[in-house]
Amino acid sequence: MMKHFIFLLTALYFLSFGSAFSQQSTSPPSDKISIEEIIKKARLRRTEYIEAFKDLNAEETQKIEEYDDKGLKRRREIVSDLIVYQSPLDNSSMFEYRNVRLVDGKTVGKRDQKAEQLFTRIAKAKSIKKELERLNRESSRYDLNTSVYGQTLNQGLPLEERLSRSFRFTVTGNEKIDGHEVIVIQYQQISQNPDLNTKLSLPKGKLEGAEPLHRGRLWLDRETLRLRREERELTINHPSLKSPLTFIKFEFDYANSRFEILTPTQITISTYNRGRDTADGSPELLIGAKTTFEYGVFSRFEVTPDFQPSR
């Protein structure tokens, strides 16, 4: 049996965006617009999202579920204030910070005092890496064995210019989401890209040397080409497999806001890291953990004299 046989060593995407920003036209696309033009305009919408999102905050409810052979093993619910932290060392580097309020319904004591102490320590950090380590350590303090971060800033990954050349995009149809017409784009990673920086540690045997590749779908608002939904899978590909195995599945849902961007309503990450052989000897992956983030109404962050995490 192949249990717990896959470990994601690195799946972080540190993408930099300059501070220069101008609002682009969002006129409805023509039915005859090329896929290349759709992706180009959707990329601009993505950049606008990241630039606008850095000033926003919201209440976030994180639900963590971990599974074993008997089913659901344990779960946890964490309610936090989600804030985007911009590094003073590099304004284009942004990270999520969670100021945790409740853990399984119990209030976290002295959280504002802890936050103040955290940012005092971060101010002394000599590198962005150290800043990130300290933020993640505090933000994930109450997580179980599963810890996920950075996904609110990770919208439409294949649209990023340095990555899109490694993907094939195909228009597959039109649908509606919450009454809004959307264009459905299917994508498949067709070549490796050092900027994706995904490494898998696999045991010797059937899947040794397997290749990690991404695939998924984008639901783009027909009028604005802003992202309303995305499904993304990190898959394991090997000649011995009849079809790729899904290792991680990401699901992103967005909705209208009082800002010019669509903001997240829910993000779900499912990790299939429990492996076994089927009756015919083929490997399969079973769910090991599922993390769901749900978001309240977003507001614009206002700096106070004694607490300044975003600048």
Lowest mean pLDDT among 106-115, 167-176, 241-250: 106-115
CB atoms within 10 A of CB 289: 21
In a domain, 191, yes or no: yes
What is the torsional sign of CA 136, 141, 145, 150? negative
What's the rounded Cα separation, in Å, for the pair 108 and 120?
20
User: 287: domain range?
Assistant: 40-79+149-300
Residue 196 inside a domain? The answer is yes
Sign of the CA dihedral 88, 259, 295, 228?
A: negative
Q: 226: which 2 tokens?
A: 């802003």
- Other beta carbons within 10 angstroms of residue 16's beta carbon come to 10
Q: What is the pTM of this model?
A: 0.84
* Positive or negative torsion for Cα 145, 78, 196, 234: positive
The pLDDT of residue 14 is above 70: no
Tell me if 28 is assigned to some domain. Answer: no
Q: What is the pLDDT of residues 18-71, one digit of tens each?
A: 322 233 444 455 466 899 999 999 999 999 999 999 889 999 999 999 999 999
Q: How far apart are the first and last CA of the chain?
A: 50
Tokens 């639901």, located at residue: 219
pLDDT of residue 22: 33
Q: Is residue 128 part of a domain?
A: no
| Beta carbons within 8 Å of 32's beta carbon, 6+ residues apart | none
Please state the domain count of the chain.
1
Q: Does residue 84 sit within a domain?
A: no
Q: What is the pLDDT of residue 26?
A: 46
Q: CA-to-CA distance for 132 and 18, rounded, in angstroms?
A: 19
Dihedral pair phi/psi, residue 293, rounded to 5°:
-105, 125
User: What average pLDDT does the segment 296-308 reach?
Assistant: 66
Task: Report if residue 166 sits inside a domain.
Answer: yes
Assigned domain for 24 exists:
no
Residue 127 covered by a domain: no
> Does position 299 have pLDDT exceeding 90, yes or no?
yes
